Amino acid sequence: MSWTMKKYLFYISQNYSFAILRPIQKILQQRGDQVRWFFEGDAVNPAYLMPEETRLDSIDLIKTYHPDAVLAPANSIPSFIPGLKVAVFHGFDAGKLDRQGRNDHFKIRGCFDLYCTQGPDTTREFNTLKKKYGYFNVIQTGWSALDPLFEQPESPLPHEKPVVLLCSTFTHKLSCAKQLLPVVAELSRSGKWQWLIQFHPKMEAAVIAQYQSIQSKHLHYIETDNVIPLLQQADVMVCDTSSVILMFLIQNKPVVTFKNIDPGPYLLDIDNPALLEQSITRALSHPPELMQQLQQKTAQTHPYQDGKSAQRVVTAIDEVLAGKHPLKKSRPLNFFRNLKFRQRLHYWNFL
């Protein structure tokens, strides 16, 4: 396939999107393509933008730039910006349901031309949806955010005791953060393990402050736009119902969950904070039956461990742009969703 320079736009609304898209940016820039960034809303911290990265701060500038493809780790993006709309996902399917009881991970909102899926379990579902709707392509690529996970850390941090990483979703009814706080505080004071705490950026400020208040030489609260180094450093994860669980499992490391909504046999799930210590101890022993279930799960979730998912995403986009995967239908006009985007972005130019 012949190659000509292309323009790409990374459309983001959360800080974690930087880590998802930068492996793709690296591939694109290495071959001479152009990349620009656009921040929707005020949840993105501009300080995370690197000096060599360029931001477009208006829809008019996006239209002038006229990207060939727009990549978004989001559920939806406006249709009125130019370019092939590519969904690269902001996490794995954690089984969370919307208000109608439907799995939100597989909700089709009429925004994307291409879904770059992470593994067989999601590819099957999206291919079924492709047959139903007919206006988007589905190509299994793996998840670009995990590429650095399979690289050796530049400066691995030595530790004399096991490292426990506590993560939690911001969803109030699913979050373990409040209920586990007392026992985590007590366990950290014992000095038995080293604790790292990292929450979803939408976690309520009061909860974050509570964990910051119990910091010590055995417990550190960390704010970051890139969770990968924490995943690499930790020996076991404690979590609830969050897609970061699957990111951790892919390293062949065990996870203890608290009231997970779909606790498969690959997790050590508890419903009582008093069971946390013994469950972490069991996880650190790597029970053979647990590890076997874990490996079976990750083979379906994300079978790639070569660190080349970003390259597969780029190849998939190249193929679609070259017309290799023609579709019989066009994306819907999506009038009401685009009207909401116009209100959110204060953009009323219809030309």
CB count within 10 Å of CB 67 equals 23
Mean pLDDT of 211-222: 97
Average pLDDT over residues 29-49: 96
Dihedrals phi, psi of 183, to nearest 5 degrees: -70, -35
Instruction: Kindly report, residue by residue over 316-351, the tens digit of the pLDDT.
Output: 999 999 999 999 899 999 999 999 999 999 999 987
The domains spanning 7-148+307-345 and 152-301 adopt the same CATH topology: yes
CA distances to 151, 272, 283, 294, 339 from 276, rounded to whole Å, are: 31, 7, 10, 19, 47
Question: How big is the chain, counted in residues?
Answer: 351
Residue 154 has pLDDT above 60, yes or no: no
pLDDT value for 202: 87
What mean pLDDT comes out for the span 154-170?
81
Q: Alpha-carbon distance 211 to 197, whole Å?
A: 8
Mean pLDDT of 191-207: 93
Instruction: Band the pLDDT of 2: cuts 50, 70, 90.
Output: low
Report helix, strand or coil for 94: coil
Q: Report the C-alpha gap between 222 and 230 in whole angstroms.
A: 9
Give the pLDDT band of residue 157 (cuts 50, 70, 90).
Answer: low
Give the homologous superfamily in CATH for domain 7-148+307-345. Glycogen Phosphorylase B; (3.40.50.2000)
Phi, psi of 220 (to 5 degrees): -130, 130
Position 104 scores a pLDDT of 87
What are the start-end ranges of the H helices in the chain? 17-30, 59-65, 120-133, 177-190, 205-213, 228-233, 244-249, 276-284, 288-301, 309-321, 335-345
Q: b/e map of 187-217 (b: 16 or more CB within 10 Å)?
A: bbeeeebbbbbbbbbebeeebbeebeebeee
208-213 contacts at long range (C-beta below 8 A, 24 or more positions apart): 210/178, 210/181, 211/177, 211/181, 211/184
Identify the pLDDT of residue 51.
96
**Each residue's pLDDT tens digit, 291-302:** 999 999 999 999
Is the pLDDT confidence value at 123 over 60? Answer: yes
CA distance 206 to 199: 12
What's the mean pLDDT in 95-104? 80
For tokens 């593994």, the residue is 119
The yes-or-no verdict on residue 215 having pLDDT over 80 is: yes
Where do the structural domains in the chain lie, given as residue ranges? 7-148+307-345, 152-301
194 contacts: CB under 8 Å, gap ≥ 6: 159, 161, 162, 163, 164, 218, 219
Contact 71, 88 (CB under 8 A): yes
CB of 10 closer than 8 Å to CB of 35: yes
pLDDT exceeds 90 at position 103: no
pTM for the structure as a whole: 0.87
CA distance 347 to 42: 16
Mean pLDDT across 272-290: 98
Closest CA to 211 of 174, 177, 254, 249: 177
Q: What is the CA radius of gyration of the chain?
A: 21
Lowest-confidence segment of 1-10, 33-42, 108-117 by average pLDDT: 1-10
The number of beta carbons lying within 10 Å of the beta carbon of residue 101 is 6
CATH of domain 152-301: 3.40.50.12580
DSSP-assigned beta bridge partners for residue 103: 97
Name residues whose C-beta falls within 8 Å of residue 161's C-beta, 6 or more positions apart in sequence: 191, 192, 193, 194
Whether residue 187 has pLDDT greater than 90: yes
Measured distance CA(95)–CA(349) in Å, rounded? 38
In contact, 203 and 16? CB cutoff 8 Å: no
